[in-house]
Amino acid sequence: MGYYTGTPQINIPLYTIEEANISLPISLSYHASGIKVEEVASWVGLGWSLNAGGVISRTMIGKEDELNIGSNSDYRTIGVPNPNISLNSFQNFVVKGEDDDADEIKQIVDGTYDLEPDIFHYNFAGYSGKFVIEPFASTESKIEVVTIPVNPALKIEAEIKNTIIDKWIITDDKGFVYTFGGTNAKETTTTHSFDPHGTPGNTNGEINYTSGWFLTSISSPYSSEDITFTYTDDRIVYDQKKSEIKYASLTPSSDCGTMEPKNTWTNTEADTKKLESIFFSKGAIHFHKTQEGRKDLAERFWLCL
Whether residues 73 and 4 fall in one domain: no
Q: Quote the pLDDT of residue 24.
A: 92
Q: Which one-letter DSSP state was computed for residue 61?
A: -
Whether residues 78 and 28 fall in one domain: no
Distance CA 53, CA 215 (A): 6
Segment 29-63, tens digit of pLDDT:
998 878 787 778 888 888 899 999 899 999 998 78
Q: What is the mean pLDDT of residues 63-76?
A: 61
Asked whether the beta carbons of 86 and 74 are under 8 A apart, the reply is: no
Whether residues 68 and 149 fall in one domain: yes
Boundaries of domain holding 234: 54-286
Whether residues 297 and 282 fall in one domain: no
Number of domains in the chain: 2
Whether residues 174 and 58 fall in one domain: yes
Predicted model pTM = 0.79
The residue that leads in pLDDT, 248 or 117, is 117
Distance CA 31, CA 17 (A): 24
Whether residues 218 and 297 fall in one domain: no
Beta strand residue intervals within 75-153, DSSP E: 119-124, 127-133, 145-148
Q: What is the mean pLDDT of residues 199-203?
A: 45
Whether residues 62 and 41 fall in one domain: no
CA geometry: angle at 190 spanning 73 and 228, to 5°?
A: 80
Where does the pLDDT of residue 243 fall: very low under 50, low under 70, confident under 90, or very high at 90 and above?
Answer: low
Whether residues 89 and 236 fall in one domain: yes
Where does the pLDDT of residue 258 fall: very low under 50, low under 70, confident under 90, or very high at 90 and above?
Answer: low
Q: Quote the pLDDT of residue 269.
A: 82
Asked whether the beta carbons of 20 and 222 are under 8 A apart, the reply is: yes
Whether residues 223 and 262 fall in one domain: yes
The residue that leads in pLDDT, 98 or 192, is 192
Whether residues 256 and 246 fall in one domain: yes
Whether residues 206 and 79 fall in one domain: yes
The mean pLDDT of the chain is 78
Whether residues 15 and 104 fall in one domain: no
Asked whether the beta carbons of 130 and 140 are under 8 A apart, the reply is: no
**Cross-strand bridge partners of residue 3:** none
Which of 141, 120, 106 is CA-nearest to residue 65? 120
